[in-house]
Amino acid sequence: MAQEDPAIIAIQEFAKITDVDEGFAHFILQDYDFDLQKGLNAYYQMLEKKEKESKEKTESTDNSEVEAMDTSGPEPNSSLESPVPDEFPADITVLTWNVDGIDEGNLGRRFKGVLIVVAKVNPEVILLQEVVRAHMPDIKKLMGKMYHIIAPPDDGMPYFTVTMISKNIKCLNKSIAPFGNTMMGRTMTVFEGTWQKLRLVVVHSHLESMREYASARKDQFKQCIKKLEENMGENTLVIFGGDLNIRDSEIGTINPAIKDAWIASGSKKDRQYTWDNKLNSNKGLPPNVRCRFDRIYFNGPYKNVDLSLHGTQMIKNIHCFPSDHFAVAVTFKNPGKSKH
């Protein structure tokens, strides 16, 4: 019998040993590559530190009470050094992934695999497509303490997009609106926020699928690019990402200030295809069916862009990948000087 994923076992064992919920166990272990012993050591060191701080406070204050430990954990991607409000964050990572919730086969187990991969990447911005209602309890339980979660109301759509933004980033505005020409319930989500000196605008969408809907898809793509153009400005990073279903021949001419992250990161061939039936056997399609459907476009102050693919390993005990798509993670690094 195939063994269960070591990360799942580590989460369950951590929760059992420490008597915390699996969400908190997941949060701690993600920083230690799901190494149980390292995670336990870090947890107990945190307890000792809290106990020492509480003891010192008790000794220095008459009739003071010992504070209970806050098991909600630190903010996501928090640094040991205090952020500088008048500077840009040193880096910011965005991950987009079509999680294929339409396929009910091994749905729960595959999504656990998705969440483990996401935790290892630990991005500030998470863009998920083809999410289904069965996914939402895990999203809220495991991610709700760390992320703003933007999802549509339960209006009967079989699948939808979910946008998650680190709570390090202050939310100013957020919206979800359907495209006027969609036949598939497709929407545009827009998030605006600030993080230190950076203004961040995220546009997230799952554009119309299939070749016969190319006209609608091209129009939707243009609407999203226009939203980026409307929000470009000083000290601003604008990002448009998702499963765009777009072909290079459908894009046409766009504002040269808006960059394709795969091209900006060096157009590496081993990271080109995100729906890759040569490497991903979930759909059983011919190996020559390889497309770069999942993309991230951007404009902003960061000088360096790294792009990587994730979810490229099969889940051993169920012999399939977390999704038929690979996740795309883009890290923006080396910001220029902010303008005051």
Distance CA 26, CA 13 (A): 11
Distance CA 43, CA 318 (A): 31
Clarify whether 243 is annotated catalytic.
Answer: yes
Q: What is the DSSP string of 185-252?
A: --EEEEEEEEETTEEEEEEEE-PPPSGGGHHHHHHHHHHHHHHHHHH--TTEEEEEEEE----HHHH-
What is residue 296's three-state secondary structure? strand
The two beta strands, 170-178 and 187-195, are: antiparallel
Structure tokens at 20: 């915390």
Of residues 5, 100, 243, 324, which has the active-site annotation?
243
Q: Which helix (H) or strand (E) holds 167?
A: none
Distance CA 314, CA 269 (A): 21
Structure tokens at 332: 């923006």
| Nearest residue to 123 via CA among 340, 310, 337 | 310
Distance CA 204, CA 207 (A): 10
Distance CA 26, CA 17 (A): 13
Rg (CA), the chain: 21
For the chain, helix (H) and strand (E) counts, in that order, are 8, 14
- Catalogue the active-site residues: 243
